[in-house]
């Protein structure tokens, strides 16, 4: 050990990294490439992580935003983990495409809730982020009234009468704390609110945020490994800041990460979002260890043992 290196405690948040929905979606692309050969089209980034997307491109995936971009109609296409509007599988059928849907089962659960509320003729409020693919997919489950709100101020401006019965659902990757405030506002503004049977913010989002909360107050710096377009990564940065780690940052590009920004720190927290692989944690630790004498502490908030099976349709194909 080099005695000149400054000591640095590194608290690794647990759980961190891939969730069950992300693991399944990546596996689906890899299995499809194995079965059909390259290229396999993927509609939208399969999960919001640059490292994952770049690796899958190298394995033979071609990422597109719309099915109209497919120029080899005999190649299979996979829909991303975020879910798609109902119009997308319909379009795939019309084009006679071989398609597989990697929508996370926990997002599909919300789609079924929207359908359920639609059957009851209830206006649905969706709490989420405008233009996020999951929100576009959820809004596209119904032709009836569905209203997006991004913050609690928007609730009272909705064109729905206060005494009308309404239902709400949420995006899966929101801040647990912020969403609670918006739900409280919905329940106080509308006299008759139907809630989803189970919480829509998923187990992986909740656990990763709780794990960050536990160590943020003791962390002089907090590094969140994830990509800029990843909702769950951005929420982890916000949570770290809100719970006491003012210097929380998103690290998307480890090659350009400068460990000397940690020079004034004694303790740091590190986590990886639900779409970021553990290899990125190893890489950043290796990089930081060239500048500091590290004391690594696994700070596990909860053990996870959740896995989702790949859809029967793909299983049969392979
Ligand atoms: S973050 Fe949650 S909803 Fe999204 S893919 Fe993972 S388990 Fe599914």
pLDDT attached to residue 199: 85
8 Å CB contact between 233 and 226: yes
Ligand 1 centre to CA of 49 (Å) is: 13
Question: DSSP of 288-301, one letter per residue?
Answer: HHTTEEEEEEEEES
For the four alpha carbons of 92, 65, 73 and 308, in that order, the dihedral sign comes to negative
Provide the percentage of residues in the chain whose pLDDT is more than 70.
99
Rounded distance, CA 76 to CA 40, Å?
5
Ligand 1 centre to CA of 60 (Å) is: 24
The catalytic site residues sit at: 134
Determine the topology of domain 20-104 in CATH: Rossmann fold (3.40.50)
Give one word for 96, left, alpha or beta, with left for phi > 0 and alpha for psi -120 to 50: left
CATH class of 6-18+203-300: alpha beta
Q: Measuring CA to CA, how many Å separate 224 from each of 151, 228, 236?
A: 24, 11, 7
Rounded mean pLDDT, 205-213: 96
pLDDT in tens, 243-257: 999 999 999 999 999
Q: How is residue 255 written in tokens?
A: 């090659």
Q: H-helix or E-strand containing 45?
A: none
Which residues does a 6 A CB cutoff place in the pocket of ligand 1?
A: 19-22, 81, 104, 106-107, 172-173, 202, 204-205, 232, 274
The pTM assigned to this predicted structure is: 0.95
Q: Measuring CA to CA, how many Å separate 13 from each of 57, 68, 98, 106, 281?
A: 29, 41, 40, 23, 11
- Inter-axis angle of helices 20-36 and 50-59, nearest 10: 10
pLDDT attached to residue 197: 80
Rounded distance, CA 248 to CA 225, Å?
11
Radius of gyration of the chain (CA): 21
The residues of the chain that CATH labels 3.40.50.11270 are 20-104
How many C-beta atoms lie closer than 10 Å to residue 154's C-beta?
15
Q: How is residue 144 written in tokens?
A: 């009836």
C-alpha 102: how far from chain center:
13
DSSP for residue 78: E
For residue 2, pLDDT beyond 80: no
The residues of the chain that CATH labels 3.40.1010.20 are 6-18+203-300, 106-194
Rounded mean pLDDT, 63-69: 97
Please state the atom number of ligand 1 nearest to the C-alpha of residue 306: 7
pLDDT in tens, 267-304: 999 999 999 999 999 999 999 999 999 999 999 999 99
Rounded distance, CA 233 to CA 208, Å?
10
Q: Measuring CA to CA, how many Å separate 240 from each of 201, 286, 303?
A: 18, 23, 20
CATH hierarchy code of domain 106-194: 3.40.1010.20
Q: Kindly report the protein residue whose alpha carbon is nearest to atom 5 of ligand 1.
A: 21
pLDDT class of 3 with cuts at 50, 70, 90: low
**For a pocket test of ligand 1, which of 202, 232, 234, 271 has the largest count of ligand atoms closer than 8 A to its C-beta?**
202
pLDDT in tens, 145-200: 899 999 999 999 999 999 999 999 999 999 999 999 999 999 999 999 999 888 89
11 has which bridge partners?
A: 269, 297
């Amino acid at each position: 050990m080099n005695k000149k290196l400054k000591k640095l405690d590194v608290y690794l948040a647990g759980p961190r990294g891939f969730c069950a929905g992300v693991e399944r979606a990546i596996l689906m692309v890899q299995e499809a490439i194995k079965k059909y050969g390259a290229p396999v089209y993927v509609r939208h980034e399969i999960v919001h992580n640059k490292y994952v997307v770049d690796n899958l491109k190298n394995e033979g995936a071609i990422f597109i935003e719309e099915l109209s971009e497919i120029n080899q109609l005999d190649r299979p296409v996979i829909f991303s983990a975020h879910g798609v509007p109902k119009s997308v599988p319909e379009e795939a059928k019309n084009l006679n495409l071989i398609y597989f849907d990697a929508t996370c089962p926990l997002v599909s659960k919300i789609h079924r809730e929207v359908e359920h509320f639609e059957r009851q003729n209830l206006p649905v409020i969706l709490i989420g982020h405008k233009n996020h693919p999951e929100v576009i997919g959820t809004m596209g489950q119904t032709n009836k009234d569905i209203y997006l709100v991004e913050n609690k101020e928007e609730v009272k401006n909705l064109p729905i009468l206060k005494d009308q019965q309404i239902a709400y659902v949420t995006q899966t990757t929101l801040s647990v704390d912020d969403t609670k405030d918006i739900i409280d506002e919905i329940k106080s503004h509308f006299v008759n609110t139907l809630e989803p049977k189970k919480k829509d913010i998923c187990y992986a989002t909740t656990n990763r945020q709780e794990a960050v909360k536990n160590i943020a107050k003791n962390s002089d710096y907090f590094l969140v490994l994830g990509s800029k377009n990843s909702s769950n990564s951005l929420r982890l940065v916000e949570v770290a800041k809100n719970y006491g780690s003012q210097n929380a940052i998103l690290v998307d590009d480890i090659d350009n990460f400068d460990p000397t920004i940690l020079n004034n720190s004694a303790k740091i927290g590190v986590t990886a979002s639900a779409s970021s692989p553990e290899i990125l944690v190893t890489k950043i630790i290796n990089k930081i260890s060239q500048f500091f004498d590290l004391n690594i502490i696994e700070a596990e908030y909860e053990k996870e043992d959740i896995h989702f099976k790949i859809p029967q349709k793909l299983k049969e194909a392979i």
